[in-house]
């Protein structure tokens, strides 16, 4: 029996998501195993410390870490890991945060890693009461700069793995870990959007943080895996600032089910399905005037390809950003990946498709290209005006 459509019930638009696992769009399609587990958990009581202990075992098995804990998001995982590095298991210090009097409270981070994932990563560090010490520059960083930034007050080092991070001349995780380890500084890796659950810990991280709601397709949650002592101290923050970032029973049980499903997932079959969507789009776009498309690998090495569509505004009579805006409008909205719009590029991400969505994407793009081609005036919003309108719309909420 088909479920009644929740969008029409709430008066909301049903979108097609080809932008990726975006918080702004509800992250990912939660796997059935997690949905069932969440449903089964909601009517029950649990001794939460036992539930956390169980989760720690599952996380340890999947990541190779000594221990793990679940929090409400990767963002809070960063805050709580930083807090853990400052307070250890000192309960009085935990209750005093974000007042860090008497504690080591500086956190080093490469300047090129100070990204915004929807909020600034450095703010998640400051939220614990820590002070951010940027290393190097947006365009380059060196081991000697990291060495020079570490001092008496250094509590931790944060390393960000992300397509948003600067990609030129940056200190590698191996070098970063070696320098930090030589000074006894714990290394926290933000791997929120990465598939590799073992590699960062293996490369020297003391803590690795993953989002439960991105590739893992679980409920909104953060997984923090690492050295037992630090994980324990991060968990104890639930008696302090962690309380404001609480995850409930359903979140813990849901993300455990998603992790177990991930272990058994037929990754090859999923890639195959993604590939057939990409092929369909390539075929739909072939020969379209002003359009060239090619497959591109994920920039941080996740096993995922996307379609990069280059729009020539003169030949297509529309700019990439106007095309993206038109695709997102109307009653069959298609949300494309829009990080390279200014370079005339739209990307399509195939990892969050419902059955049949790939056809809607192909139809809508062809439809909008034909519409633009038939208009006598060029659809060329100046990029500065487009960006200003985008900025203005940030405040148009509630």
Ligand X SMILES: *Cc1c(COP(=O)(O)O)cnc(C)c1O
Positions touching ligand X (CB under 6 A) are: 23, 73-75, 117, 121, 160, 162, 190, 192-193, 211, 222
Residue 69 β-bridge partners:
224
3-state secondary structure 322-372: HHHHHHCCCCCCEEEECCCHHHCEEEECCCCCCCCHHHHHHHHHHHHHHHH
- Sequence-separated contacts (24+) of 317-321 with Cβ below 8 Å: 317/290, 317/372, 317/373, 317/375, 317/378, 317/379, 318/368, 318/369, 318/372, 318/378, 318/379, 318/380, 319/344, 319/379, 319/380, 319/381, 319/383, 319/386, 320/344, 320/345, 320/346, 321/381, 321/383, 321/386
CB closer to ligand X, 221 vs 317: 221
Nearest approach, Cβ of residue 162 and ligand X (Å)? 4
CB closer to ligand X, 74 vs 319: 74
Nearest approach, Cβ of residue 41 and ligand X (Å)? 20
Q: Give the C-alpha separation, 320 to 298, whole Å.
A: 21
CB closer to ligand X, 115 vs 366: 115
Q: Give the C-alpha separation, 268 to 111, whole Å.
A: 37
Tokens of 211: 């989002």
CB closer to ligand X, 20 vs 240: 20
Residue 173 β-bridge partners:
none
Q: Give the C-alpha separation, 189 to 203, whole Å.
A: 10
Nearest approach, Cβ of residue 117 and ligand X (Å)? 4
Helix runs in the chain, H state only: 6-10, 32-42, 48-63, 74-87, 91-96, 121-126, 143-149, 173-182, 199-202, 228-236, 249-264, 267-285, 313-316, 320-327, 357-374, 383-394
Question: Can you say how many angstroms the Cα of residue 388 is from the centroid of all Cα atoms in its chain?
Answer: 25
Q: What is the sign of the dihedral through the CA atoms of 40, 46, 48 and 54?
A: negative
CB closer to ligand X, 127 vs 291: 127
Q: Give the C-alpha separation, 246 to 147, whole Å.
A: 35
Question: Can you say how many angstroms the Cα of residue 361 is from the centroid of all Cα atoms in its chain?
Answer: 23
CA angle centred on 17, ends 13 and 18, rounded to 5°: 150
Nearest approach, Cβ of residue 218 and ligand X (Å)? 11
Nearest approach, Cβ of residue 6 and ligand X (Å)? 22
Nearest approach, Cβ of residue 347 and ligand X (Å)? 16
Nearest approach, Cβ of residue 337 and ligand X (Å)? 13
Q: Give the C-alpha separation, 225 to 228, whole Å.
A: 9
CB closer to ligand X, 162 vs 381: 162
CB closer to ligand X, 106 vs 194: 194
CB closer to ligand X, 165 vs 293: 165
CB closer to ligand X, 209 vs 231: 209
CB closer to ligand X, 117 vs 142: 117
Nearest approach, Cβ of residue 78 and ligand X (Å)? 7
What is the pairing mode between strands 305-311 and 291-297? antiparallel
CB closer to ligand X, 113 vs 326: 113
Nearest approach, Cβ of residue 222 and ligand X (Å)? 5
Give the three-state DSSP class for 382.
Answer: coil
Nearest approach, Cβ of residue 245 and ligand X (Å)? 10
364 touches 334 (CB < 8 A): yes
Nearest approach, Cβ of residue 221 and ligand X (Å)? 7
């Amino acid at each position: 029996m088909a479920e009644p459509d929740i969008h029409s019930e709430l008066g909301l638009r049903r979108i097609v998501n080809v932008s990726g696992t975006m918080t702004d769009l509800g992250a990912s399609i939660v796997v059935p195993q997690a949905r069932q587990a969440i449903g089964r958990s909601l009517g029950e009581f649990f001794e939460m410390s036992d539930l956390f202990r169980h989760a720690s075992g599952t996380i340890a098995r999947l990541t190779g870490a000594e221990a793990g804990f679940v929090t409400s998001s990767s963002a809070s995982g960063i805050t709580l890991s930083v807090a853990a590095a400052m307070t250890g298991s000192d309960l009085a210090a935990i209750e005093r945060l974000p007042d860090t009097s008497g504690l080591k409270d500086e956190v080093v981070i490469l300047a090129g890693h100070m990204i915004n994932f929807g909020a600034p990563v450095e703010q998640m560090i400051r939220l614990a009461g820590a002070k951010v010490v940027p290393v190097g520059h947006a365009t380059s960083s060196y081991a000697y700069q990291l060495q020079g930034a570490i001092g008496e007050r250094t509590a931790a080092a944060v390393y960000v793995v992300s397509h948003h991070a600067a990609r030129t001349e940056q200190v590698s995780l191996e070098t970063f870990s070696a320098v930090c380890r030589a000074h006894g500084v714990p290394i926290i890796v933000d791997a929120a959007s990465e598939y590799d659950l073992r590699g960062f810990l293996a490369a020297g991280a003391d803590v690795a943080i993953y989002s439960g709601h991105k590739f893992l397709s679980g409920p909104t949650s953060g997984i923090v895996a690492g050295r037992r002592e630090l994980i324990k101290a991060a968990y104890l923050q639930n008696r302090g600032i962690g309380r404001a970032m609480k995850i409930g029973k359903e979140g813990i049980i849901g993300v455990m089910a998603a992790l177990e499903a991930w272990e058994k997932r037929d990754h090859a079959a999923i890639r195959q399905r993604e590939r057939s969507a990409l092929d369909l789009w390539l075929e739909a776009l072939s020969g379209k005037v002003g359009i060239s498309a090619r497959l591109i690998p994920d920039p941080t090495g996740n096993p995922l390809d996307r379609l990069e569509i280059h729009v020539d505004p003169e030949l297509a009579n529309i700019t990439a950003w106007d095309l993206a805006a038109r695709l997102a409008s109307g009653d069959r909205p298609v949300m494309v990946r829009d990080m390279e719009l200014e370079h005339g590029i739209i990307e399509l991400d195939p990892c969050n498709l419902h059955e049949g969505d790939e056809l809607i994407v192909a139809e809508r793009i062809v439809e909008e290209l034909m519409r633009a081609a038939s208009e006598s005036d060029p659809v060329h919003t100046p990029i500065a005006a487009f960006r200003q309108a985008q900025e203005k719309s940030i405040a148009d909420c509630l």
